[in-house]
Amino acid sequence: MKKLINDPFDMVEEMVDGFLSANDDIVRRVGRRSIARVASPIDGKVGIVVGGGSGHLPAFAGYVGHGMADGAAFGNVFASPPARPVVEATTAVDSGAGVLYLYGNYAGDCLNFDKAQDQCQEMGMDVRTVVLNDDVASAPVEQADRRRGIGGLFWVFRIAGAKAEQMASLDEVFEIATRANANTRTVGVGLTSCTVPANGRPTFHLEEDEMELGLGIHGEPGIKRQKVAPVDDIVEAMMDMILGDLDYSGSEIALSVNGLGGTPAEELYVVYRKAREICDANGLRVRHKNVGEMVTALEMAGTSISLVRLDEEMSALLDSTVNTCMYKKP
Amino acid sequence: MPTLTGDSVRLLLDQVAIDVESNKDLLCDLDGEVGDGDHGVSMTIGMRAVRRAMDDLAPDPSVEQAFQAASDAYAIEVGATIGPLYEVAFAAAAQACSGKADVSSVSDWVQIYQAMFDAIQQLGGAELGDKTLLDSFHPAIEKLASLEGQDLVPSLEQAAVTARQAAEATKELKPMKGRASRLADRAVGYQDAGATSLAIILESVAAFAAHVRS
């Protein structure tokens, strides 16, 4: 294992320290593993708290700032945070207008965020939750409640965050987050494994000429291991899975190509080129797009493609400005 | 017969923590086959917190206080799925020992293990056969319950052997909970990491009790 770390068990702590000092114009510390926007709580605004394991930056803490989230909790690498930092973030961002939790659908996150929600509600805060599950490959469509949350998280954070910024009510922000999640689909592909620092060895092994289709963002195996193919063929297979899962026809869409941490931007643009071509060929109007690292898996090589079926309101919300720690749009 | 007081339990949990950490790589490897490869890391983080908590306990803690401190350590430090599960398990163990000066009989440990099992099952919602730690825990508790009235050390040892065998038998099961559940058929053939760490804990408890006796 070659990594820029000290003691691997200290990595998260040291990362949080660096993250806070690098972004001290946008966020402040509210606990050992929790942050909030400098100005929070913002009068009358619904607070959005995101979080999950470390190892996914810019998700989750990187999205705290104007136009996306108000607070975040850091877990250990690939492990949900305990309830405490979630409670700390919630308390810091609650203006009285209520708080919405947005996180990916994993057993640990559900347990810990639910516990935090219970504790905050006992303290009199109004907290609701939308669990995100955009990963087509992780369960069949009729078992969508078992699907994982991966690269499409970005769009739900954007849409819900923009709505909250307009001083919408908790009901309204909850509703649009639910709608955005229901209309978002993602498929990932992994080319290499990654190494959890405190483990020290790669999580799994792929041969030099192999890739894993449907791979999760923690190195969980996908649905099919196969030989690496030309990227156009890979993108076609990914887009087939997405377009076969949700009817996008005639809709405006948001399209994103996400890097998993170890794939250069150049390759991501090659992926985007083909994904866009397929969208155009299917008559989908690509209104919003993003190419880059949005939800990573440490240094894993690979990508995920996300498509959001937009309506007028969601599309308009995506025109708004964003200024978060790791994503900015004028 | 060993007498396991609150201070013994403090030392016992310290030893359990050492034994779990020494199996970190094995537990990560098992988890890496079907999950995200961090079970050994999460357990190590939790057990290191347990060791610090045992160090920080006031002298001569009650049995209840020692277990409760382990619960608090998991609650604050771990997260993941295993954090809340061991948090409630150790809290249930603490409750089961409330008012007891020592836990030196088989029936004391049946109560402790059963309370932990029930708490984990209630929070996690898994059924037997879902390929979780319940699948090594349950047969071990049944074994121990069948030995009530007998010497503690050999009884704990037999329960630990049962847990180890049951952990190995999880290879045949399809996962229904956690990340591995999304693989289902592909995970058959791999031993469950959580069932294995539970077996390691029971082995460590048995070894500690044997050590106290000698």
Domain count across chain B: 1
Query: Are A165 and A193 members of one domain?
Result: no
From the list A56, A66, A205, A288, the catalytic residue is A56
Element (H, E) at B87: helix B82-96
Query: Are A146 and A231 members of one domain?
Result: no
**Using one digit for the tens of pLDDT, what is the confidence trace for B60-119?**
999 999 999 999 999 999 999 999 999 999 999 999 999 999 999 999 999 999 999 999
CATH of the domain at A275: 3.30.1180.20
Are B80 and A77 within 8 A, CB to CB? no
Asked if A201 has any chain B CB less than 8 Å from its own CB, the reply is yes
Angstrom distance (rounded) from CA B115 to CA B66 = 16
> Contact, B192 vs B133, CB < 8 A?
yes
Closest by Cβ to A76, choosing from B35, B79, B123: B79
**Using one digit for the tens of pLDDT, what is the confidence trace for B123-155?**
999 999 999 999 999 999 999 999 999 999 999
A123 part of a folded domain: yes
Angstrom distance (rounded) from CA A36 to CA A99 = 13
Q: What is the mean pLDDT of residues B194-213?
A: 95
B12 part of a folded domain: yes
B41 part of a folded domain: yes
Domain boundary, last residue among A140, A167, A183: A183
Domain boundary, last residue among A139, A165, A183: A183
Residue of B nearest to A137 (CA): B182
Q: Is A33 helix (H, G, I), strand (E, B) or coil?
A: coil
Angstrom distance (rounded) from CA B182 to CA B176 = 8
CATH of the domain at B69: 1.25.40.340
> Contact, A306 vs A185, CB < 8 A?
yes
Q: What is the mean pLDDT of residues B200-207?
A: 98
B1 part of a folded domain: no
Are A221 and B34 within 8 A, CB to CB? yes
Query: Are A148 and A250 members of one domain?
Result: no
Are B84 and A81 within 8 A, CB to CB? no
Indicate the DSSP class of residue A40: P
B150 part of a folded domain: yes
First to last CA, chain A: 39
The whole domain housing A55 covers 8-183
> Contact, A173 vs A160, CB < 8 A?
yes
A111 part of a folded domain: yes
Angstrom distance (rounded) from CA A74 to CA A51 = 6
Query: Are A36 and A59 members of one domain?
Result: yes
Which pLDDT score, from 0 to 100, does residue B13 have? 95
Question: Nearest C-alpha of chain B: how many angstroms from A9?
Answer: 8
Suggest the residue from B21, B23, B41 to mutate for an interface test with chain A (most A CBs closer than 10 A): B41
Taking one residue from A and the other from B, the number of pairs with CB-CB distance under 8 angstroms is 118
| DSSP sequence for B116-171 | HHHHHHHHH---TTSSSTHHHHHHHHHHHHTTTTS-HHHHHHHHHHHHHHHHHHGG
Q: What is the pTM of this model?
A: 0.93
Q: Answer whether residue B184 shows pLDDT above 70.
A: no
Query: Are A178 and A204 members of one domain?
Result: no
Query: Are A171 and A194 members of one domain?
Result: no
Task: Confirm whether A56 is a catalytic residue.
Answer: yes
- Contacts of A106-110 spanning 24+ positions with Cβ under 8 A: A106/A52, A106/A80, A106/A148, A106/A149, A106/B179, A107/B81, A107/B177, A107/B178, A107/B179, A108/A53, A108/A75, A108/A79, A108/A80, A108/B79, A108/B80, A108/B81, A108/B82, A108/B83, A108/B84, A109/A51, A109/A52, A109/A80
Report the 10 Å Cβ neighbour count for B101.
Answer: 11
Asked if A140 has any chain B CB less than 8 Å from its own CB, the reply is no
Residues from chain B that touch A148, judged by Cβ atoms under 8 A, are 179, 182
Closest by Cβ to A107, choosing from B24, B78, B178: B178
Query: Are A199 and A278 members of one domain?
Result: yes
Query: Are A202 and A105 members of one domain?
Result: no
Asked if A10 has any chain B CB less than 8 Å from its own CB, the reply is no
In chain A, which among 56-75 make CB contacts under 8 A with chain B? 75
Mean per-residue pLDDT over chain B, rounded: 93
Which pLDDT score, from 0 to 100, does residue B179 have? 67
B104 part of a folded domain: yes
Q: Which residues are registered as beta bridge partners of A306?
A: A186, A256
Query: Are A74 and A212 members of one domain?
Result: no
Residue B213 pLDDT grade (very low, low, confident, very high; cuts 50, 70, 90):
confident
Are B83 and A9 within 8 A, CB to CB? no
Are B79 and A80 within 8 A, CB to CB? yes
Angstrom distance (rounded) from CA A94 to CA A40 = 8
A325 part of a folded domain: no
Domain boundary, last residue among A142, A163, A183: A183
A166 part of a folded domain: yes
CA atoms within 13 Å, Cβ hemisphere of A104: 31
Question: Which backbone phi and psi does A178 adopt, to 5 degrees?
Answer: -60, -45
Query: Are A192 and A158 members of one domain?
Result: no
Listed residue (B115, B164, B121) closest to B139, CA to CA: B164
> Contact, B166 vs B117, CB < 8 A?
no
A323 part of a folded domain: no
Residues from chain A that touch B28, judged by Cβ atoms under 8 A, are 196, 199, 201
A38 part of a folded domain: yes
Closest by Cβ to B38, choosing from A79, A115, A148: A79
Residue B182 pLDDT grade (very low, low, confident, very high; cuts 50, 70, 90):
low
The whole domain housing B149 covers 6-213
Question: Nearest C-alpha of chain B: how many angstroms from A72?
Answer: 14
Query: Are A155 and A13 members of one domain?
Result: yes
Largest alpha-carbon pair distance within chain A? Answer: 55
Counting residues of chain B whose pLDDT is more than 90, the rounded percentage is 84
> Contact, B6 vs B66, CB < 8 A?
yes
Domain count across chain A: 2
B33 part of a folded domain: yes
A3 part of a folded domain: no
- Residue-wise burial string across B50-72, b where 16 or more C-beta atoms lie within 10 A, e elsewhere: bbebbeebeeebbbbbbbbbbbb
Closest by Cβ to A79, choosing from B24, B80, B181: B80
CA atoms within 13 Å, Cβ hemisphere of A130: 26
What pLDDT tens digit does each residue of chain A (330 aa) get? 899 999 999 999 999 999 999 999 999 999 999 999 999 999 999 999 999 999 999 999 999 999 999 999 999 999 999 999 999 999 999 999 999 999 999 999 999 999 999 999 999 999 999 999 999 999 998 999 999 999 999 999 999 999 999 999 999 999 999 999 999 999 999 999 999 999 898 888 889 999 999 988 887 778 889 999 999 999 999 999 999 999 999 899 999 999 999 999 999 999 999 999 999 999 999 999 999 999 999 999 999 999 999 999 999 999 999 999 999 999
In chain A, which among 169-198 make CB contacts under 8 A with chain B? 196, 198
Query: Are A117 and A242 members of one domain?
Result: no
